[in-house]
Chains A and B, each alone.
Chain A
């Protein structure tokens, strides 16, 4: 899409390199796309062809790891899975388990996209885990925000501003991360449930006194309405064992029969779950979010629309949080109809949707982000101050800013 024959590709090796590369383009207004592992560069609004592509491949060091402080500083291009391997040597991890980890998702890309996985229920997203960042703006200015301590209220939290910015405000070059101890053990329960049952169960689980790390529900593209509920608890051996018994009891009180999975089987289930959110190049992936108790309405609306248009819609939901990823397959036109109408429906429920992977025809015809929020004028003003010539990811939030 954005790679034309004219696109120059560079991979700066340090901050000064990155600053020079960006700053030099300011005078000539050269447009630029940042990329990490490039696993999802086409997600979100379609980016116009750019003159320059800056890869974070060369900014991939583990700059420091302070196990005693549970913090690390990493280059934005470091793949998450590489980072996890080094942190594990000290019994720590970045508490993030996105589906894209295996595909090589980078720390900068994860902050820029706001991506997270099932365990966000307990640990949050990069919004909670990134405590500082070094950013290079389009004019080459190098900016530091945050610091190496988790408790810090000095200055504006620019790191959060870049969370979800999708490369449109500047290059994330380094990130300071808050780490967690690796859990000693992890148990997973599995049950069969409809979306309504899963929604009620999620609420009961959260009232149980046990603190589950993840509660996820998924359903294949076709089926009889039931899906799979996976509940994970991390902690000490005694804690997870007692906790999972308690959670199983809560589920059975809800009329669901839960099974504790063997660790290998559990891993396979979680991998399948991650796989289900990806979609192929022929499919449209829609991410929706609404209040948790509106999940049954959101999913029911999707089912009805999918049936009407002869589309298969597989869903994976962070059911306790009201976040749903739907993968639509069928004719591109029908996918587009379903995505468009489902978005309207979710918006009337007070939620929002964005498009991820989708076939080119869908990308060309359907805006990725839906109705602009009331804060769009503010977003536009911020964009203008940080990137006045609209050089970074031009087109990405078109309609918003």
Chain B
């Protein structure tokens, strides 16, 4: 999957243009030393690399706008970058393009505890927001596992979420407004003070658009009250199917947990080796169920959850008795990806979603596919919303095994789509899954998304080559090009 790493020839950035960027953002905000540029050549998906021609680090909306205007005037493609933790190559630079890094934009513009909201620049980290909000008993609900480092700008671009999405929703449900620098350098506000904004919801389109519609330079987030009570349990099962049944049981009982996470045997093994969080190595699957809310309600739901795990063949239930013990369970879960290194030299992290009711059959099928491929697949995932993260384990020292593992990872995500789900629940499409978009959407669906993109970015300079399948990434599109009848009639066009 790795793409060649040609040394970018910054032919687009003349000395004169570089000087203009310096005028826009200051000398200290422009990076052009080749060695320093390499820091920006990839994001968390390190298989794809491309050295940018230039990196600029603006400090204000106006500086972002000035940099983008220069790009627009000179036809230079640009890519926004937050912390670079993205796992789909969304912040991968474009050859001969620039990276606009938002890491210096970390100001808090305003905290408004009375109205339960906060406005920050995009480089503030996800958990940084909650830290700032905590003196008021408030927090920012979206909780990607990368929350200590990833930026809220990146969260907006990826519509990030974490274990607590099931009850609390995604970034999209918690962003009230943004300031957007559009690809021609204009500054505009989407959403804002009013709960109901009038007219088509452009904000809803920008959230999750993976940096392809403009650069977000201010974000107003909704803050929530910390729940009064939190109760957590870990239930062990003899099979992933039993664990899946328990999850269905919870849903049928009308309980909406704050989080339901599942680990299979391999994942438990890796977590235990890495963290000693106390998961039972004898179990074939473990569920972490967390409930929160008003104390009486939380207690009632917790009893129901415990009962349902028992009646769905749980072989053991552990209820942490201290905050520390509960934190260790979550630490175990959140470090699961990193822990895989303990049981396999290499692995791919996949991210697909299936309807929750198909958990049992799909997991069985994944196990079968792994057997057929002669590879191991560990599963650790958000069971409540069907967001799977199969980890395909392999050993790169064995010739051909990486390719084999990658094929399996792709087959798994396509299984998710054919089961009625999605190719991504949280990592995004980026450069990584652009080709798989054709598995999920028809050419017409993609063409209409492209029309929306063209409305924002007619010249295609804002993070090009991401999200949409391109011949470069996917080989030629299947089938001959067939113009729409209205295209032939000159009524509509494709850009």
Closest Cβ of chain A: how far from B464's Cβ, in Å? Answer: 15
A210 with B445, Cβ < 8 A, contacts A151-B387, A164-B197 known: no
Closest Cβ of chain A: how far from B155's Cβ, in Å? Answer: 11
**Do A181 and B256 have beta carbons less than 8 Å apart?**
yes
Give the distance in Å from the alpha carbon of A321 to the alpha carbon of B53 in the complex. Answer: 47
Closest Cβ of chain B: how far from A234's Cβ, in Å? Answer: 10
**Do B294 and A141 have beta carbons less than 8 Å apart?**
no
Give the distance in Å from the alpha carbon of A157 to the alpha carbon of B450 in the complex. Answer: 12
**Do A369 and B199 have beta carbons less than 8 Å apart?**
yes
Any A CB within 8 A of the CB of B188:
yes
**Do B492 and A375 have beta carbons less than 8 Å apart?**
no
Any A CB within 8 A of the CB of B133:
no
Which A residues lie within 8 Å of B484 (CB)?
A: 139, 141
Q: Per-position contact with B for A56-95: 1 when CB-CB < 8 Å, else 0?
A: 0000000000111111000000000000000000010000
Q: From B442, which residue of chain A is reached at the shortest CB distance?
A: A144
**Do A149 and B295 have beta carbons less than 8 Å apart?**
no
**Do A211 and B194 have beta carbons less than 8 Å apart?**
no
**Do B445 and A143 have beta carbons less than 8 Å apart?**
yes
**Do B449 and A158 have beta carbons less than 8 Å apart?**
yes
A153 with B296, Cβ < 8 A, contacts A292-B115, A385-B451, A400-B199 known: no
**Do A157 and B200 have beta carbons less than 8 Å apart?**
no
**Do A155 and B202 have beta carbons less than 8 Å apart?**
no
User: What is the interface size of chain B, counting residues whose CB is below 8 A from a CB of the partner?
Assistant: 96
Which A residues lie within 8 Å of B441 (CB)?
A: 144, 154-155
**Do B492 and A378 have beta carbons less than 8 Å apart?**
no
Closest Cβ of chain A: how far from B296's Cβ, in Å? Answer: 4
**Do B297 and A293 have beta carbons less than 8 Å apart?**
no
Any A CB within 8 A of the CB of B107:
no
Which B residues lie within 8 Å of A242 (CB)?
A: 294-297
A143 with B444, Cβ < 8 A, contacts A154-B423, A291-B115 known: yes
Which A residues lie within 8 Å of B254 (CB)?
A: 91, 181-182, 184
Any B CB within 8 A of the CB of A386:
yes
Q: Given A153, A184, A377, A378, which contacts B428 in the complex, CB threshold below 8 Å?
A: A153
**Do A239 and B209 have beta carbons less than 8 Å apart?**
no
Q: Per-position contact with B for A377-401: 1 when CB-CB < 8 Å, else 0?
A: 1110110111010000000010010
Which B residues lie within 8 Å of A263 (CB)?
A: none
Any A CB within 8 A of the CB of B370:
no
Q: Per-position contact with A for B193-220: 1 when CB-CB < 8 Å, else 0?
A: 1111111111111011100000000000
Q: Of A216-224, A272-280, A304-312, A349-357, which binds chain B?
A: A349-357
Give the distance in Å from the alpha carbon of A238 to the alpha carbon of B300 in the complex. Answer: 8
Q: From B495, which residue of chain A is reached at the shortest CB distance?
A: A385
**Do A293 and B201 have beta carbons less than 8 Å apart?**
no
**Do B201 and A163 have beta carbons less than 8 Å apart?**
yes
Of residues 333 to 362 in B, which have CB atoms within 8 Å of A's CB atoms?
Answer: 353-357
**Do A351 and B193 have beta carbons less than 8 Å apart?**
yes
A-B contacts at CB below 8 angstroms, number: 270
Q: Of A46-54, A201-209, A252-260, which binds chain B?
A: A201-209
Give the distance in Å from the alpha carbon of A141 to the alpha carbon of B202 in the complex. Answer: 21
Give the distance in Å from the alpha carbon of A348 to the alpha carbon of B186 in the complex. Answer: 24
Any A CB within 8 A of the CB of B137:
yes
**Do B225 and A206 have beta carbons less than 8 Å apart?**
yes
Closest Cβ of chain A: how far from B22's Cβ, in Å? Answer: 29
A151 with B353, Cβ < 8 A, contacts A158-B449, A374-B189, A382-B200 known: yes
Q: Of B74-82, B94-102, B157-165, B309-317, which binds chain A?
A: B157-165
Which B residues lie within 8 Å of A351 (CB)?
A: 193-194
Q: Per-position contact with A for B163-193: 1 when CB-CB < 8 Å, else 0?
A: 0011001101100000010100011111011
Q: Per-position contact with A for B380-411: 1 when CB-CB < 8 Å, else 0?
A: 00100111000000000000000000000000
Q: Per-position contact with A for B270-304: 1 when CB-CB < 8 Å, else 0?
A: 00000000000000000000000111110011000
Any B CB within 8 A of the CB of A128:
yes
Which B residues lie within 8 Å of A69 (CB)?
A: 355-357, 386
Give the distance in Å from the alpha carbon of A91 to the alpha carbon of B251 in the complex. Answer: 11
Which B residues lie within 8 Å of A124 (CB)?
A: 169, 173
Q: Per-position contact with B for A129-171: 1 when CB-CB < 8 Å, else 0?
A: 0000000010101111101111111111111111111101100
**Do A155 and B437 have beta carbons less than 8 Å apart?**
yes
Any B CB within 8 A of the CB of A236:
yes
**Do B445 and A144 have beta carbons less than 8 Å apart?**
yes
**Do B422 and A154 have beta carbons less than 8 Å apart?**
yes
Which B residues lie within 8 Å of A12 (CB)?
A: none
Q: Of B41-49, B371-379, B452-460, which binds chain A?
A: B452-460
Closest Cβ of chain B: how far from A73's Cβ, in Å? Answer: 11
Any B CB within 8 A of the CB of A289:
yes
Give the distance in Å from the alpha carbon of A181 to the alpha carbon of B251 in the complex. Answer: 8
Q: Given B186, B205, B295, B386, which contacts A151 in the complex, CB threshold below 8 Å?
A: B386
**Do B205 and A149 have beta carbons less than 8 Å apart?**
no
**Do A26 and B297 have beta carbons less than 8 Å apart?**
no
Q: Given B170, B429, B452, which contacts A154 in the complex, CB threshold below 8 Å?
A: B429
Which A residues lie within 8 Å of B200 (CB)?
A: 161-165, 168-169, 379, 382
A153 with B425, Cβ < 8 A, contacts A206-B116, A381-B456, A386-B448 known: yes
Any B CB within 8 A of the CB of A98:
no
Which B residues lie within 8 Å of A373 (CB)?
A: 188-189, 197-199
**Do B172 and A157 have beta carbons less than 8 Å apart?**
yes
Q: Given B187, B198, B228, which contacts A354 in the complex, CB threshold below 8 Å?
A: B198
Closest Cβ of chain A: how far from B455's Cβ, in Å? Answer: 4
Which B residues lie within 8 Å of A203 (CB)?
A: 114
**Do A397 and B467 have beta carbons less than 8 Å apart?**
no
Closest Cβ of chain A: how far from B324's Cβ, in Å? Answer: 23
A152 with B294, Cβ < 8 A, contacts A66-B357, A70-B251, A157-B208 known: no
Closest Cβ of chain A: how far from B426's Cβ, in Å? Answer: 6
Q: Which of B195, B296, B426, B449 has the most C-beta atoms of chain A within 10 angstroms of its own C-beta?
A: B195
A239 with B455, Cβ < 8 A, contacts A149-B425, A323-B195 known: no
A147 with B440, Cβ < 8 A, contacts A128-B173, A181-B256 known: yes
Give the distance in Å from the alpha carbon of A139 to the alpha carbon of B204 in the complex. Answer: 24
23 contacts between A and B (CB under 8 A): A68-B355, A139-B484, A143-B444, A145-B449, A148-B355, A149-B387, A153-B208, A153-B422, A154-B422, A154-B441, A155-B467, A156-B453, A157-B205, A159-B204, A160-B204, A160-B205, A164-B196, A184-B254, A236-B300, A238-B300, A350-B192, A374-B189, A378-B455
